[in-house]
Structure 1
Amino acid sequence: MLNIVLYEPEIPANTGNIGRTCVATGTRLHLIEPLGFKLSEKALKRAGMDYWDDLDVTTYIDYADFLEKNPNAKIYMATTKAKKVYTEAAYEPDCYIMFGKESAGIPEEILVDHEETCVRIPMMGEIRSLNLGNSVAVVLYEALRQNGFAGMELEGELHELKWQGNNR
C-alpha cells in the first residue's frame, strides 16, 4: 500500500481533499503535527465529503515520532528544491511520499538527508508551488501508474447507455 505523508499541513480543505484521494486510491495517509486545524473541523470533512470515515489515517506528534513508528520507510520527498523530476523516481508499492506544509514545504534540515529521494513537479519559473492537493494527486498517480494501478478499476461503464464501440 502506498503512503502519503503530510508534514504539518495548515489548510483543512487541502487535507480533506487529499484524504478523499487516498480513499479513492487505497492509500494510507500520515499526518505529522502540529496541524493548522482540528481533525473535527467542518472544512476538513466537507472537502473529504463522506469518505473521511473510510480513510486509513495516522497522526504523529512530530517528525521524530513518524520516523520512530515507521523505521524502514522508503520516503520520497516532494519539494520544489529537488534536482530530480517526480517521473524519474521508481516508486515501490509500499513507499512513503511526503509533502510539506503549504506555506513553507518540507524543512531543509530534513531534505538535506534525503537528496536522492527528493522529487519535484516541473513548473514555470514564476510560480512558487502548486496547490498541495494537486501536487499529491500528480505524484501519487505516477506512483500508482508505475505499480500497475494495483487493485483499481481500470474501465468504466455508462449508467444508462452503452459505449458504441464496446461489445462487452
Structure 2
Amino acid sequence: MESEPYKPLLHIVLYQPEIPHNTGSVGRTCVAVGAKLWLVRPLGFQVDNYHLRRAGLDYWQHLNWQVVDDWQQLISHLPVERFWYFTKFAQHRLGTAEFEPGDVLVFGRESQGLPEDIRNLAPERGLRIGCRPEVRSLNLSNSVAVACYEALGQWRRAGGLGLELPE
C-alpha cells in the first residue's frame, strides 16, 4: 500500500476523498510533478487493484503514496508548519503563497471540503483558488493540478532552487 519511487518535491493530502476517479487524476498529477500523495481515511472507495484499474491508474506503480487512518496519524508523519490548507473560505489567494520544496498541500472532500476544525488550525495558511461567482469551487483534481503547477512555476522563476523540476 506504500511505495517510495522518488523523493517528493511536494506532499499532496486528500482528506477523506470520496470519488476514485478524482483520486486517480490527482495521482497522475503527483507522478507528473514528483509529489507524494497522502490519503486520509475514511475513503469513499477501496484502494485495491480493481478500483485502481477502474480509475485508469495504470501508472500507479510510479506513484509515491501512502494511506493513513486519520488526521493524527498524518500529522505524525509531516511537519504541520509546512501545511497549506485549500478552502474556498480562505482569505488568501493561491498566488500569495510562497511555496518551499517539501510543503504539504491539503485538500478536503469533494462534497464538503475541509472540515472547519482543520481549516481553523492555521487560518493564515489557508489558500483559495479564485473562481467566478457562478462556480462554488473547482473540481478536486483540477485544484490539485493548479496548486502543484503554481509551486513549480514559483521555483522555476526563482532559478529552480537546485531542484530537479519536471520539464
Q: TM-score range by the shorter chain?
A: 0.7 to 0.9
Q: Helix, strand or coil: the match of 1:49? A: coil
| Paired position in structure 2 for 1:22 | 30
Residues 147, 46 of structure 1: alpha-carbon distance in 2 compared, 3 angstrom cutoff = farther
Structure possessing the higher radius of gyration over alpha carbons:
1
Stretches of structure 2 that go unaligned for 5 or more consecutive residues are 1-8
Alignment of 1:129-148 (within 5 A): 129-148=137-156
Contact 1:6 1:101 in 2 (8 A): yes
Deviation at 1:127, TM superposition (A): 1.7
| Paired position in structure 2 for 1:126 | 134
If the length of structure 2 is used for normalisation, what is the TM-score? 0.86
Contact 1:7 1:106 in 2 (8 A): yes
Contact 1:12 1:41 in 2 (8 A): no
Deviation at 1:99, TM superposition (A): 0.4
Residues 33, 10 of structure 1: alpha-carbon distance in 2 compared, 3 angstrom cutoff = same
Aligned partners of 1:92 and 1:27: how far apart in 2? 13
* Deviant stretches of 4+, over 4 Å: none
| Paired position in structure 1 for 2:164 | 151
Aligned partners of 1:104 and 1:152: how far apart in 2? 33
Stretches of structure 1 that go unaligned for 5 or more consecutive residues are 155-168
Q: Helix, strand or coil: the match of 2:134? A: coil
AA partner of residue 152 (structure 1): L
Contact 1:3 1:96 in 2 (8 A): yes
Cα deviation per residue 1:46-105 (whole Å; 9 max; x = unaligned)? Answer: 445321111100111011110122245510011000000001000111100000000000
AA partner of residue 18 (structure 1): V
| Paired position in structure 2 for 1:163 | none
Give yes or no for the alignment of 1:98 onto 2:111.
no
Identity %: 44
Contact 1:84 1:119 in 2 (8 A): yes
Q: Helix, strand or coil: the match of 2:122? A: helix
Aligned partners of 1:121 and 1:20: how far apart in 2? 20
Residues 73, 31 of structure 1: alpha-carbon distance in 2 compared, 3 angstrom cutoff = farther
